[in-house]
A and B are shown apart, each in its own frame.
Chain A
């Protein structure tokens, strides 16, 4: 989230789209209720289902699953053509005046540089026109046909209310009602917050859905202001933290990236990630990348990381490709993987296309599952009847199941959706012989290290030199690890302006990332967490809930990254002169007398840069401003375009009916053999979408008695029209089939799912909760991801769980389920 949960109370309008906060994030949703009750804020919900968020909305608009870019593109067109934009904001804080290369084109759904055989773009033309001074050329009058404003306007002019209705099934009057309400927040003293979740991420074009939402917010001037922002409601308690710490194939801590295998030269690696400003006077904060990188390597490898060996640059594995979970299961299925660890992750239930996953796991030599609960993945080899019909004698995988502690049995910190690092304390011992995760990792690693020390082997250096300074090596303490990622000085750190002045003495914890150095004098495992544990102590454990400014900032509760800042981009809440657009919700402002930015938040800016200096508020971007034109940073194009889901009820993309290349996302990766696993609308006529229930959490809470009591049995939701057409009544058992398998569940017939008219024909939606499996105390059920397609977003490879095709039929009796 750019903003935070309590800040939602400061808004005038809430748009919930691609999420269902009332059911999936109930205690956060209370702040929507607060805004409605005390600020007369209104709530709009756009969703394929009439959810419980919709039930308390001021206005609900239906939409077909997977068509959100058409809807949001329609909003962009509405705002531009009705001149409902925040002019100062758009002019001063975005790239609208930047000139784009003449060679950049967009023809019938495809941008310049496309290679249909590789399903990839050569992005050479997706860039700016550069001047001789080394900066981007601009046209402040916005009249140049190659400026971002003119290109954007032309691109979205096609997204008319008629087109929105045709693609999304949202009636024009409903769309226009929503657009009108949203447009009101273009006023400087009005704002809107966007709350989204996996309903936007889990699509083959999910990243672009989110971008389109952000573009709407930028047009309205709603980014960086109290009560505004793009607010990703993340799904797990520490999914933010693990992302921040870089536990993804291609990442290093703090959003640094691993080198590709072509990046032999260390300096070139650093230079590429430390972009020079693209406009005069801009900060381009990533220029500090070398400080973050060297400090991480010093944290990991200590004295072994030296200037002579480029701080162990060559000890890092170099990427041949991104080994995301889909790629890994593809490789596993092709016999290229021997071992796999699942630490608190249940991929058999959480990744798409169960039959492929199950076959892949059976090809492993060894599988290690570390979990507090008995997961389906740990028993993929065991026969569980209709729910997991396998022959154990044919599966040669060695499996280890290691019991770990749960939340209540450990100390440590979690990062919530709003970037707060909150410390928690252990209340009991884990059951039986269970150990905490740190002890388990240490147990395996120390054995391995001893074997490499004794016997040698492939490249032992990183294993033998990995920092392991724990009072009890087999029990790395959370406090020790937290201090390590927060960072400390290895030598005295001095003030660059006055080398005689020591800022931090050798051995002391750092106060923040501004103290990091690229000469090896600081060690910091995760630069964005720097300062979370300083010489003042463990700031993550702070519990002062005071709100001195009355807008819910709570600066002394826990520690928010970066630098305890609560609202990102908050400099953009002020005009070019540094005065808040809306003084009643002031976050920061320029204090001319003091010569610095002050306010109710930590300024997201160079604290002493006067407005007259002209520095833009988006300091992480080399432009200094926000981008409508994404340059070469997205896989499928600089401007979001509507493409159909990989499995769509339509034969073509109504935007480009005559171009099959532009039917679904042209840059989405599809593995060989998976094209055949996608279903056609002739065979599978209904749109399916998966989701959570408020009583359950993924496949954990079916292990929890109270939740198993309130939602005991697997069900699917269908609308009344589809039920009538298929002769299904509430309570019947139904079989839901996709090209990849079937599930059996109880039918819930509901008014919450309406039949939509898409491109002239009726389209029904089947809603499928995700929570069942064959382990736990709830009634056993089928794994929902039996049905889902093995394809992901072109940028993130997040699977397309939210829009695919199924058929549904009534079963005369439960016994016929396997027929």
Chain B
């Protein structure tokens, strides 16, 4: 399947380049030191290629891949969710050239059990590039992150890569709902695992992490491109399903002085695009299942993916890529399995033009 999928992508990407063979194209781009981060440019016309080369004036361009929301159950590698994550790992490993790193967007486990996290760790171990992990609420609320931290390290950290400052947050902190009601660890987990729980508590980044973020950002130049990873969207989309971060405005305020900020978040299992002031927000796909769009609050910039075919496990799910441009902007690709890839490029987002979507849209 991987090969088939890759071929299909290549067909889409290269068919638009009239008169330029794939070999010539790669030669030209590599010579110019440019890695084409997004198929959007290619889908459009060959003029973009020239444009892109001309834009080469800032930092080195690069690409990273993401996999997210696998919701593994401790039921072995034959379970449908495990098979989906394996498929994503194989797809990423088949990328040529390889991405600089792979980002995992949280909810590796479904019920936060050690067995689930270990299964996930085992499945993603063959990934060839370096992996950066982020925590989701499904990883956290059984033992309050103990096993996750043991296997993957700190949930909050930052790193620099080719001139871009990356920040990974734990945005799934909620106020204590379990002590007073004396919930068992599994009761606490199940309470949190239910998306449409009417008693659910809103996610936050929390004061402690905001303080950490402020300090972390104080060491970063205002012109440095910033990419923030959070599990929940760092804005307010739909509270009843916790597509929501309660202290989003305070986090956005900390990011306000920076010229280029992109937030990439998990949790929503859907194509999702938003822009608030200087910050562009991108959702990422789940490997396990797509969430329906919420009945209200969908950001205007979002071009919704069609409702997934329930008869096809791999429709509406997948993984993706983010290309960082020379100016530190993000061109975002959703690699929907069994559909054409969907690209949300920064330029198109700014110009207000509709981004190029695959034939399924």
> Do the two chains belong together in a single complex?
no
